[in-house]
Amino acid sequence: MRLDTTFAPDTIALKKVDVVVVGGGIVGASAALYLAQKGISVALCEKGRIAGEQSSRNWGWIRKVKRDPRELPLMFESARLWDMMSESVGTDIGYRTTGHLFAAETDESIAKYEDWIEQARDHQVGARIITGRTLEQQMVGAGQRWKGALYSPNEAQAEPQNAAPAIASAAEALGAKILTGCAVRGVELTGGRVSAALTESGRIDCDTLIVCSGAWTSRFLRDLGLRLPQLKVRSSVLRTAALNGPENIALWCKEASFRKRADGGYTIGIGFTAVAPIVPDSFRFFREFLPALLMEHSSIKLRVEKSFLNEWATSKAVRADEVSLYERTRTLDPEPDRKVTERSLFELGKLFPVFSHAQIVEQWAGMIDVTPDMLPVISAVDSIPGLAVATGFSGHGFGIGPGAGKLIADIVSGAQPAVDAKPFRFSRFVDGSDIRPTTGL
């Protein structure tokens, strides 16, 4: 998946801002927007292009259902922001309410969905189990195939390739500096606190630095002596040409997931399988991730790939005066598992004959940044004043992105957050907290 970009000049005229944001995905762009709205000077530094990685490669779902209940207050805040996002950024980002349907083939699956509804009851998500004729009305033909489904009518979607760039442009219009092709190689500390971002194009003095680097975050923080247990999972997706199929709902089932795009085609994801490349961090963080691996053993496929040697070779600390790994890999652009995506489309065609005529236009893959408990980190780092982190969204990041960006903006600016940030604290990995997951990817 390739998007156009404009690269920063060889040297940066910008010398000082209040906040530097590292990473131009949906969360970083949102953080820049909400900081700029507060009148705080901010520079967003992106080593490649805005939304070049997972923020443009996801399914485009904006959902509350099947989230960890601890995420739900933040997701409700994010949904509020999404609801007015097109107006806020001054352009159509494809946002619309469609409803989401999670198919259940067995009584056991229905029981798991019922358990989630009970856990989330206090949050009034509005999800329910539907069966029979009601299910048939929502997804024609579904009542003959599945025992039931978890149905959430108020869920939404947007176009990932449009959303983060539009948010970044809106931030720029408010005075934020958006620097693409500008890798941050390191952080300068003075007296133990953040004093500058050291980029490939020069130094930017700042009081605060927010790391929103997705799959790169753990590696970036390691050079600051910080240990963040985070791994990468590869998810493959395809899109079709325009097709006259189901329009008003997005579906997840064992065979595949789909949603109708603004261009009339469909984004189709693998319903039940993702690949976790085995890399050096797999061993560093094995103990923390073991519960998640046991929970997701049927849907996570472990593979040894060339990325193991690549990451081993780039494990030494990055020097601010040398070309870094961030410049050598501007964009994580892994090959999709084409056999798996095409098999998913084939199986989808057996469930819904209209998909048997679908023309594949594009296939791609993205690297999802995951944490052991599948909750994000949205937090200041206590041991380094001026440093904050927003990462580890574990496949849930697009929908929750605006809320996460606003939360980290509130945290670093000293504003009162709209939601409790305690579940997302950086320190939970070392303070004895239970970091086992409660829900899957």
Does pLDDT of 241 surpass 50? yes
The pLDDT of residue 120: 92
Q: What is the mean pLDDT of residues 2-31?
A: 78
Q: Distance (Å, rounded) from C-alpha 47 to C-alpha 217?
A: 13
The pLDDT of residue 323: 95
Contact yes or no for 345/268 (Cβ under 8 A): yes
Does pLDDT of 4 surpass 70? no
The pLDDT of residue 6: 43
Does pLDDT of 250 surpass 70? yes
Does pLDDT of 213 surpass 90? yes
Q: How confident is the model at residue 5 (pLDDT cuts 50, 70, 90)?
A: very low
Instruction: Supply 421's token pair.
Output: 């940030």
Burial of 147 (0-12, 13-18, 19+ CB in 10 A): middle
The pLDDT of residue 7: 46
Which pTM does this prediction carry?
Answer: 0.93
217 φ/ψ angles, rounded to the nearest 5 degrees = -65, -45
pLDDT in tens, 349-380: 988 889 998 999 999 999 999 999 999 999 99
Contact yes or no for 183/199 (Cβ under 8 A): yes
Q: Distance (Å, rounded) from C-alpha 166 to C-alpha 69?
A: 29
pLDDT in tens, 111-141: 999 999 999 999 989 999 999 989 988 887 6
Mean pLDDT rounded to a whole number for the chain: 92
The pLDDT of residue 10: 57
Q: How confident is the model at residue 145 (pLDDT cuts 50, 70, 90)?
A: confident
DSSP bridge pairs for 193: 190
Q: What is the mean pLDDT of residues 264-270?
A: 93
Q: What is the mean pLDDT of residues 137-155?
A: 86
User: Which of 5-14, 305-314, 410-419, 430-439 has the highest average model confidence (pLDDT)?
Assistant: 410-419
Contact yes or no for 230/285 (Cβ under 8 A): yes
CA–CA–CA angle 184, 190, 193 (5° rounding) = 75
The pLDDT of residue 298: 66
Does pLDDT of 188 surpass 70? yes
Cα–Cα nearest to 409, from 396, 419, 399: 419
Does pLDDT of 1 surpass 90? no
Cα–Cα nearest to 404, from 46, 79, 36, 39: 79
β 42-46/61-62 pair status: unpaired
β 148-152/128-130 pair status: antiparallel
Q: Among 147-161, 297-311, 391-405, where is mean pLDDT lowest?
A: 297-311
pLDDT in tens, 46-61: 999 999 999 999 999 9
pLDDT in tens, 281-301: 899 999 999 988 888 766 777
β 208-211/387-391 pair status: parallel
Cα–Cα nearest to 48, from 326, 314, 234: 326
Question: Going by C-beta distance under 8 Å and a sequence separation of 6 or more, which residues neighbour residue 75?
Answer: 63, 64, 67, 399, 400, 403
Percent of the chain with pLDDT over 70: 94
Does pLDDT of 383 surpass 70? yes
Q: Distance (Å, rounded) from C-alpha 355 to C-alpha 246?
A: 10
Contact yes or no for 28/210 (Cβ under 8 A): yes
Q: What is the mean pLDDT of residues 26-42?
A: 98
Cα–Cα nearest to 115, from 145, 148, 88, 150: 150
Edge-to-edge strands of the sheet including 177-180?
A: 177-180, 42-46, 19-22, 208-211, 387-391, 377-380
Percent of the chain with pLDDT over 90: 77
Contact yes or no for 85/402 (Cβ under 8 A): yes
The pLDDT of residue 11: 64
Helices (runs of H) and strands (runs of E) counted in the chain: 14, 22
Does pLDDT of 437 surpass 90? no
DSSP bridge pairs for 364: 237
Greater model confidence, 309 or 131:
131
Cα–Cα nearest to 160, from 230, 82, 256, 215: 82
Cα–Cα nearest to 46, from 188, 205, 216: 216
